[in-house]
Amino acid sequence: MTNRNGFVAIARRLTPLIAWVLTGVKGRWQGCEPVARRRVYFANHSSHADFILIWSALPTYLRPLTRPVAGADYWLKGPLRRFIGCRVFNAVMVERRSQVANRNWLDEIKTPLEQGSSLIIFPEGTRNTTDEAVLPFKSGIYHLGRLCPDIEFVPVWVENVNRVLPKGDFLPLPLLCSVTFGAPLRFEQEDTKPVFLRRARDALMGLAPDTGAAG
């Protein structure tokens, strides 16, 4: 067990270095400071490598406090993915397939927040393989905001990761990437679901290069 834990610690230290070598990734903080408080980082989603890059772009002191929310159907498939998702990143696994989905998935996401962790989520619900900059948001981020109104929701724009690790490829291609953290927003008491989803999506789109807040 000691050797296994040591290997996990080494993997956690090496992952940001490997991400930097392959992508030159560095976090850009615009209207947001990298402080150690509970947050939900919500990002655009085009690659399975997205949460790895976001986690690597965080300062060293925030990484142990931050857990990605990941699809169990992908990250529990095979020993390597399971090791990366569960052991290296301590991801919160959520079952997405409707026929086996856990009805308590929102509680599974809320619990780590109540225990002091921050989360990385992808409100589009699946990887965006279309020409749209951002897909419509699923309702999960609204329900999470309604249950946790004291939590800051930080938009995060990830650029170029889909080109580093295209769909169907296993080996990454070296390419410069960026991760931009925007100004936080909070759930407001008067927010309806459409209003909050629109506010969150606009905040994310506002970080997208050459798109502004359109879409």
pLDDT digit string (tens) for 43-59?
Answer: 999 887 888 899 999 99
pLDDT digit string (tens) for 145-173?
Answer: 999 999 999 999 998 655 544 444 444 44
**pLDDT computed for residue 171 by the predictor:** 43
**pLDDT computed for residue 103 by the predictor:** 54
**pLDDT computed for residue 92 by the predictor:** 93
Sign of CA dihedral 18, 204, 48, 52: positive
**pLDDT computed for residue 175 by the predictor:** 57
Tokens read off for 171 = 């080996």
Q: Which residues pair with 181 in a beta bridge?
A: 29, 156
**Is the pLDDT reported for residue 39 higher than 90?**
yes
Question: Can you tell me the mean pLDDT for 65-92?
Answer: 90
Task: Tell me how far apart the terminal alpha carbons of the chain are, to the nearest angstrom.
Answer: 50
Query: Are the CB atoms for 45 and 126 separated by under 8 Å?
Result: yes
The values of phi and psi at residue 157, to 5°, are -100, 125
Domains identified in the chain and CATH numbers: 2-205 (3.40.1130.10)
The values of phi and psi at residue 206, to 5°, are -65, -15
Sequence-ordered alpha helix ranges (H) in 78-119: 79-82, 105-114
Q: What is the model's pTM?
A: 0.86
Q: How far apart are CA 206 and CA 179, in angstroms?
A: 13
**Is the pLDDT reported for residue 211 higher than 60?**
no
171 vs 4, more confident: 4
